[in-house]
Copies of this chain bind each other. A is one copy, B any other.
């Protein structure tokens, strides 16, 4: 299990190269990568604020829960903070399990958690000004299904 909250870019290839490898009980590896998207055509960058200390602890705790619930062989969460340009990866999650359903469900659960319970806040820097991103009810609903 690896949790990292960092401002530096992460290397997806390096992170996934050894993830879930060298074990004969891993049949399924799922990864999710979140990327800065520009829906308005007006976005210059995203700024991610977080709560140092709480962020790592909270993600670590929920990832341990996911490991136990879906009997994961391994799990990885990397989340960036700071200023990110359109097209840059914001975060990634990886899960390794015996079966595909467990690997998919655990990755989705971690994503739903990160969207609505991990202490991150996004601010959009647009050519026309700046604005904090509002929380979506859909993200809260997504978490409640677990």
Contacts and interface: CB of A to CB of B under 8 A. Distances in A.
Interface of A: 12-13, 16-17, 20-39, 41, 86-87, 98, 100-101, 103-104, 107-108, 111, 115, 142
Contacts of A22: 87
Contacts of A25: 37-39
Given A87-B21, A111-B100, A30 B32 contact: yes
19 contacts: A12-B17, A20-B35, A23-B87, A24-B37, A24-B41, A25-B37, A25-B38, A26-B37, A27-B34, A28-B34, A29-B33, A30-B31, A30-B33, A32-B104, A37-B98, A39-B98, A100-B115, A101-B142, A104-B104
Contacts of A111: 100, 104
Nearest to A37: B27
